[in-house]
Amino acid sequence: MQFDAFAQQKAIDAKPKKISPDLFGIFFEDLSYAADGGLYAELVQNRSFEYNPADNRDWNSMTAWKYQTDGFGYGTISVETANPIHQNNPHYILLDIQDAGQKGVGLENGGFDGIPVRGGKYYNFSVFLNVISSQPLPLTVSLVDTKGRELGTASFTASAKGWKKYSEKIKVNFDEDSAMLQLLVKSPGKVGIDMVSLFPEETFKNRENGMRADLAQTIADIKPKFMRFPGGCLTHGDGVANIYHWKNTIGPVEQRVEQRNIWNYHQSVGIGYYEYFRFCEDIGAKPVPVVAAGVSCQNSGGTWKIGSTGQKGIPMEDMDAYVQDILDLVEYANGPVTSTWGAKRAAAGHPAPFNLEYLGIGNEDKITGVFEERFRMIYDAVHKAHPEIKIIGTVGPSPNGEDFDKGWKLANQLAVGTVDEHYYEKPEWFLKNTSRYDGYNRLNSKVYVGEYASWGNTLFNALAEAVYMTNLERNGDVVRMASYAPLIARIGHTSWNPNLIYFDGKHVFPTVNYYVQQQFASNAGDEYLPGIINFTSADTTAGASCVKDSVTGDVILKIANAGSTQLFGTANLAKLGKLAQKATFTIICGDAKVANTAAHPAEVLPKTTVINMPKQWKFTVPAYSLSIVRIKAGK
Ligand code: AHR
């Protein structure tokens, strides 16, 4: 008998069904300055002097730095590599000061487009120094504005031979959007300088080596069920040497292996795997790390073309070690403190496990023999050692096509639990493809839509995504997870558009798409209730869903209308048992073309009111709107 997927789905759709409790999450990739200069609260750019022309042909160890001799001091400055803090962090600055002049001689850093500081706030400064001359050296560290006015300062003396970390707190007295950090040595002498760092005292949850509070809070406010990280293309990298290795990103920050970012800048890996896991925990999201499937990006070497074959495999003789690294990652996340890698997690400050449940292997790779051989090795080893880990495979960069088909074939052969589908398409595509998952065989691998977005940040784009998401909920038995991409981008440094959240040094600008994602993630359910909402007018550009959250008992209705006319319908709540007579009603609506921008950040915001909720709710929703109704269980 032939398998009739649509008939199977129809039957499933007739009854309430369990859907994924982890459906809506986020995907964080260090793209468009998302980590350094973004979520990472570090305010100094190129703190370790490791920028180099491989990152970006115009960059070097002194990028973002200025040699400061304003008070007529003089001496020499050089970039050195002999006897560094650590072999992983080879470059540092050597100052040999003959005359400190009236102000001292040293270094100045302008941060990422200027350092924004606020009067009355404290900032944590630290630096590694190696005093080579015999006398102790007096130093000052100051924040100054563009006219040289001092905003806050601290003084200290360095005397230790060999590398030593010095830490100071600076109180800032005035607001300034474009401050510079000056580190000045006040007397003649010779000193090595590295890891010049400045963090706001207040980071997200006041974590050390933490995240920028406003940006992190905006992400947390989505209430994502999971976070996929660290990429994207960043994970599989630009050639084998650029593959992201998690072990290079843990431990003391001055000992981590910094790396070129595939998006043409530098990764300090100040946010490394420890910080990613901790951030997931802090925002209540399950961690979903993605490791390269032993191959680099097929676009390696700049061949950004469909069908390009810049993909390179880790040499087979190195694959056992690579596979072991992945097994060690599971131990790092979940192992007891007595295990080798669990002990490293504990030493970093987290003895309790991070409760890793999901692991992605591969990112939209080209499905070649080279890929397949390595994917199988990793998959088999992880599956055997950790049957409890839910593995997510990969099926290429598009919603269909050769890699998609080959990826699915392999996943079904190996019975991979879930595969990661990606699509960036026009809003019309999302409206046309609402039944995409109706025909998926429920017995095959499940789906994680790891990256999707319609091409734009207008309300119409966001609503096309909303319509589609009501259908992801309807198919939440087979679509287990979904995340919009990319998540955040720094204005002036975007390598990809559109994004969910834009920011500069001081502000965060959530898009309309953000508010849609937030409404879905914070109003998720784990049971889909069919047949509750019925439209009585044309519905080709609309979608609706009704879910129940078994934890709170709340019932949630979502009605997305990406069409240009009002939409009419009814919600029959009579069959849902006792419910409260009032509900919260949240609506996002406006003109189709409107968008939230830096100049107009609040053009479209969700508005919430309380409404009466009859058992038969007759509704009229406006053109271009998303309505969310949340009804508590009745007493
Ligand atoms: O999200 C941006 C990029 O899109 C990701 O790095 C990659 O996986 C996809 O091509």
* Residues 196-208 pLDDT 10s: 999 999 999 999 9
> Hey, which residues does 423 pair with through a beta bridge?
452
Q: What is the pLDDT of residue 1?
A: 31
Candidates 329, 423, 440, 438; CA nearest to 385 is 329
Closest atom of ligand 1 to 363 CA is 8
| Count of CA atoms in the C-beta half-sphere (13 A) of 557 | 26
- Measured in Å, residue 607 CA sits from the centre of ligand 1 at 32
Residue 130 has pLDDT above 60, yes or no: yes
Closest atom of ligand 1 to 485 CA is 1
Ligand 1 lining (C-beta closer than 6 Å): 29, 31, 231-233, 363-364, 397, 451, 485-486, 496
CA distance 500 to 364: 20
Average confidence (pLDDT) over 36-56: 97
Residue 581 has pLDDT above 70, yes or no: yes
Q: What is the pLDDT of residue 540?
A: 86
Residue 398 has pLDDT above 90, yes or no: yes
Q: What is the pLDDT of residue 6?
A: 47
Residue 5 has pLDDT above 90, yes or no: no
- Tell me: the pLDDT tens digits for 142-190? 999 999 999 999 999 999 889 999 999 999 999 999 999 999 999 999 9
CATH class of 225-421: alpha beta
CA angle 108, 114, 117 (to 5 degrees): 95
Mean pLDDT of the chain: 96
Write out the residue limits of the CATH 2.60.40.1180 domain(s) in the chain: 533-633
Percentages helix, strand, coil for the chain (3-state, rounded to 5) are 25, 35, 45
Average confidence (pLDDT) over 74-81: 97
Q: What is the pLDDT of residue 3?
A: 40
**Residue 273 is inside which H or E element, if any?**
helix 273-283
Cβ-based neighbours of 287, under 8 Å, separated by 6 or more:
226, 227, 229, 276, 277, 280, 281, 333, 354, 355, 356, 358
Specify the residue with its C-alpha closest to ligand 1, atom 7.
232
- Measured in Å, residue 489 CA sits from the centre of ligand 1 at 13
Report whether 407 contacts 372 (CB < 8 A). no
Average confidence (pLDDT) over 382-395: 98
Percentage of the chain modeled with pLDDT above 70:
97
- Measured in Å, residue 521 CA sits from the centre of ligand 1 at 22
Average confidence (pLDDT) over 315-327: 98
Output the pTM of the full model. Answer: 0.97
Domain made up of 533-633: CATH architecture: Sandwich (2.60)
Report whether 310 contacts 296 (CB < 8 A). yes
Write out the residue limits of the CATH 2.60.120.260 domain(s) in the chain: 42-200
- Tell me: the pLDDT tens digits for 250-297? 999 999 999 999 999 999 999 999 999 999 999 999 999 999 999 999
Q: What is the pLDDT of residue 303?
A: 55
Closest atom of ligand 1 to 234 CA is 6
Superfamily of domain 42-200: Galactose-binding domain-like (2.60.120.260)
Report whether 286 contacts 22 (CB < 8 A). yes
Specify the residue with its C-alpha closest to ligand 1, atom 8.
232
Binned at pLDDT 50, 70 and 90, residue 537 comes out as: confident
421 is catalytic: no
CA distance 23 to 545: 14
Least confident of 57-66, 435-444, 533-542: 533-542
Cβ-based neighbours of 447, under 8 Å, separated by 6 or more:
418, 419, 421, 437, 440, 478, 479, 480, 481
Report whether 26 contacts 484 (CB < 8 A). yes
CA angle 316, 447, 483 (to 5 degrees): 95
Candidates 572, 587, 573, 593; CA nearest to 622 is 587
- Measured in Å, residue 233 CA sits from the centre of ligand 1 at 6
- Measured in Å, residue 530 CA sits from the centre of ligand 1 at 34
- Pick from 364, 394, 398 the residue to mutate for probing ligand 1's pocket: most ligand atoms within 8 Å of its CB: 364
- CA-to-CA dists, residue 287 to 78, 225, 280, 473, 488, angstroms: 42, 9, 6, 21, 18
Write out the residue limits of the CATH 3.20.20.80 domain(s) in the chain: 225-421
Q: What is the pLDDT of residue 449?
A: 98
Annotated active-site residue in 29, 42, 254, 364: 364
Residue 507 has pLDDT above 90, yes or no: yes
Question: DSSP secondary structure string, 33-68?
Answer: SSIIIIIB---STTTTS---TTT-TT--TTTTEEEE
CA distance 493 to 491: 6
Candidates 324, 272, 262; CA nearest to 298 is 262
Closest atom of ligand 1 to 450 CA is 8
Binned at pLDDT 50, 70 and 90, residue 605 comes out as: very high
Average confidence (pLDDT) over 411-430: 98
